Amino acid sequence: MNSTIKKFVIISCAVLALAQARAQEAIDVNTVITAFGKKPVPIAISGFSGEVLEVLKFDLYVQGFTFVGPEASTYQILGSNAGQVVGTFTDKSEPSKNFSRSYSGSTVRLQAHGLANDVVEAVTGQKGIGLSRIAYKSQSENGNGEIYISDYDGHGAQVVTADNAIVSKPAWVPGRLTLLYTSYLKGNPNIFINNLATGSRRVFAGYPGLNTSAMVSPDGTKVAMVLGKEGRPNVFVADLDGKNLKRLTTGEEDSSPCWSPDSKTICFASNIKGRRRLAKVSAEGGPVKTFDTSGMSSPSEPAWSPDGKWIAFTRLAGEFDICVMSVDGKVPATVVATGENPSWSPNSRTLVFNHNINHRQVLSVLDVFTKQYKDCARAAGSNSQPAWAK
């Protein structure tokens, strides 16, 4: 096996602009912030217990809330979970947003996610992320790893592959229960496409040399990927059926392509004149332009937020850090957490990433604006390279 290829696959493979109004309690989704580390939105919760309370606090915390007594907050959630989740939301300053609802579903956990989603939407105007899903790589101490999917908080994990081979870089097809990922199942690092609904899968890209880092465009029509078929790892693009393959870059070593929300531009990492840089290129081809990541050494693994305003990436400066910058350059790259492999949630303010705890990679979710984060439920082994379903 080519050691350069193997190394590349293993190694390669904030945010929505919100400000607080109403005495730092309501989130203004139209205001572009200029810095991170904002104060969280205080909210009071009472009447819930056990798993339901745990879910509510997890969901709200990683979407920019903090928890206080009823007298200290404009927002309150009152309810119970005796058999099913029942919740009443109160906005003291804007009663038209108040609601009382009961929730049904297979588990009280899913019901609690539903209540949290409704609260987030009432306060922010944005859809909540409680019922969203992620894919990731899970690797035992002595194993090659397999691809898993789970709820965004790590619960309900299900194995996707049983290849007993090196796997990496899962990516979702937007709006579909379908994944692309790299596997050494056939000896070469090939990109597979796997329909999770039917269980069918096939090789999507199996060219000689490296095939990795597939990323589907937001409109679901194109796939950007890194191929080594021309001798060096460069960015290529093809239709979702694998046809109309086109080479976009000719750099020394390109990696980790990601898409702009309009599916017209691809951001990627590259070695340019001996220096690691973030760059972009039109999906139709053309000149490569670089981003300004001043002060952030060795940027890699870019992720473009669904609202188009932010790019998260990994930097290496003794340890791996997650950084976020605005696409327009008005907000410089800023470290928001220790970790790597960031992936945006649909709300453009929460990231999932992995970081090291006692020599083991753990998945975490981060609210970029407040820098609040929580670790996901931990499956056995080391979990990394998360991808949030859109």
E-assigned strands of 19-71? Answer: 19-21, 26-28, 41-46, 65-67
Could you give the C-alpha distances from 254 to 52, 238, 346, in angstroms and in order?
45, 17, 26
Contact 172, 389 (CB under 8 A): yes
Contact 12, 298 (CB under 8 A): no
Q: DSSP letter string over 57-84?
A: HHHHHTTTEEE--GGG-SEEEEEE-SSS
Say how far apart CA 381 and CA 145 lie, in whole Å. 9
The tokens describing 225, both together, are 């990927």
Label the pairing between strands 340-344 and 167-172. unpaired
Residue 266 has pLDDT above 90, yes or no: yes
pLDDT (0 to 100) of residue 35: 62
The tokens describing 21, both together, are 């109004």
E-assigned strands of 162-261? Answer: 167-172, 178-183, 190-195, 201-205, 211-216, 222-227, 234-239, 246-247, 254-259
pLDDT (0 to 100) of residue 274: 86
Q: How far is CA 95 from the centre of its chain?
A: 34
Task: Report the number of secondary-structure helices (H) and strands (E) in the chain.
Answer: 3, 31
pLDDT (0 to 100) of residue 105: 79
Question: Which positions ≥6 away from 320 have C-beta within 8 Å?
Answer: 314, 338, 339, 340, 355
Domains of the chain listed by start with CATH number: 3-16+132-388 (2.120.10.30), 25-124 (3.30.160)
Question: Which positions ≥6 away from 123 have C-beta within 8 Å?
Answer: 26, 27, 41, 43, 75, 91, 97
**pTM strictly above 0.85:** yes
The per-residue pLDDT for range 7-31, each reduced to its tens digit, is 443 334 333 232 333 333 333 333 3
Per-residue pLDDT, averaged over 28-37, amounts to 50
- Residue 151 pLDDT class (50, 70, 90 cuts): very high
Instruction: Give the CA dihedral 343, 346, 348, 351, nearest 10 degrees.
Output: -30
Instruction: Give the CA dihedral 170, 282, 174, 381, nearest 10 degrees.
Output: 20
What average pLDDT does the structure give for the chain? 90
Residue 380 has pLDDT above 80, yes or no: no
